[in-house]
Amino acid sequence: MDKITKPVAGTIRKKEGFEGQKACILTHAKRNFCAKHPFCQQLYITDIGFYPTAALHNRERKNGCAQYILIYCVSGKGWYTLHNKTHQVGANQFFIIPAGVGHQYGADVDNPWSIYWVHFTGKVAGFYHKLLTGSQAQAPAVAIANATRLMLFEDILQHLELMNNNDNIIYSNSCLYAFLSSFQVSEMKISINENDLIQQCIAYMKQNLHKSLRLEDLSKAVNLSASHLSAVFRNRMKYSPIHLFTSFKMQRACQLLMDGQHNIKTIAHSLGYDDQYHFSRVFKNTIGVSPKKFKKE
C-alpha cells in the first residue's frame, strides 16, 4: 500500500460534518433501555454512521471509548494508531478498536477514506471482537465480499433513526449480529460478478423509487434475463428483486411520513403509485401499520 499522508501540524481537523454523511447516536435513555433489555443487552449499537470522502477526518481518544468501534473503509485510505503503533488502511479493509484502549485514527490527506462505522457494546461484544480480528487483533483485516453487508447497514440505520419506537431498536440490534458476521471469513464464496450485479441493481432501484418498475425493467437495467436476475436474488438474498424494490419504496415512504410536510396522496404519487389506496395496502403489508397510523404515531 502507498504511504499514508497525515495532516501537518496546525491543520484544522474534523471529527464529523462531511458532505453526504449519515449518522445516528442513541440517547442515554435508549442506551439504558438496550443495556437492560433481555435481548439487546447481549449486543447493541450506541452510535452508527457513514462518512463519504471524509477529508481531514481525525479522532483522538486518549482514554479510549466505552464501546468497541468497527470502521470499514470502502474507498480511499486512512490510518489508525493503537498501543503506539500506526497501521495503514485501504479500500475493502476494516479494523476494530477495543473498548477502553486509547487510540487515534484519521483519513489520508491526499486520498481521504469513505467509511462505515459502528460503536457497539454488550455482554458478547468482546466475543465478536475476537471472532472478527483473530490473531491479528491490531492489524486491519480484509473485508470479504458480501452482497448484503451495506444493505444491512442501511436497514439498521433507517430503523435506528426511528428510535422513539423501541421495536425499531430491538430490530436494529438483531440485524447487528448479521452485519458483524458479514466480516467473518467463511467457506461460502460469493461470486464477484454476482455481487457486482446485485449492487448495480440495488443502485438502479434507489435511483428510480419514483417509478413503477417491473422485474423486466430491472433485468434490462443490468442486461440479464428476468429469470436469471430473479434466480440470483433468490439464491443470494433469499427474496425477489421486486420485494426488495418495494421495501426500499416503503422505507422512503416512512421517511417522508416522519417529515410531516407531505400528505399520503403526495407521497404515494412520488413513489410511483397512482392509486393512493393501493399504496396504503402495500405500506401496511410491508411496515405492519397503515400510513395514516404511522404518520400519527
Number of structural domains the chain divides into: 2
Plot region of 31 (φ>0 → left; ψ -120 to 50 → alpha; else → beta) = alpha
**pLDDT the model gives residue 24:** 94
Q: Specify whether 131 is located in the same domain as 229.
A: no
Sign of CA dihedral 212, 214, 218, 223: negative
> Is there a domain that residue 11 lies in?
no
Q: Specify whether 202 is located in the same domain as 57.
A: no
**pLDDT the model gives residue 199:** 83
> In terms of Cα–Cα distance, which of 135, 130, 1 is closest to 73?
1
> Is there a domain that residue 291 lies in?
yes
**pLDDT the model gives residue 215:** 93
**pLDDT the model gives residue 200:** 86
CATH of the domain at 234: 1.10.10.60
Domain containing residue 177: 22-147+160-181
**pLDDT the model gives residue 136:** 65
Q: Specify whether 213 is located in the same domain as 114.
A: no
pLDDT in tens for each of the 297 residues of the chain?
556 666 655 555 667 778 889 999 999 999 999 999 999 999 999 999 999 999 999 999 999 999 999 999 999 999 999 999 999 999 999 999 999 999 999 999 999 999 999 999 999 999 999 999 876 668 899 887 777 899 999 999 999 999 889 999 999 999 999 999 999 865 344 454 566 788 889 889 999 999 999 999 999 988 888 888 888 888 877 779 999 999 999 989 998 888 778 899 999 999 999 999 999 999 999 888 899 998 887
> Is there a domain that residue 154 lies in?
no
Q: Specify whether 173 is located in the same domain as 30.
A: yes
> Is there a domain that residue 4 lies in?
no
C-alpha span between 200 and 58 (Å, rounded): 32
Q: Specify whether 37 is located in the same domain as 171.
A: yes
Q: Specify whether 170 is located in the same domain as 62.
A: yes
Q: Specify whether 165 is located in the same domain as 45.
A: yes
CATH of the domain at 140: 2.60.120.10
- Please state the length of the chain: 297
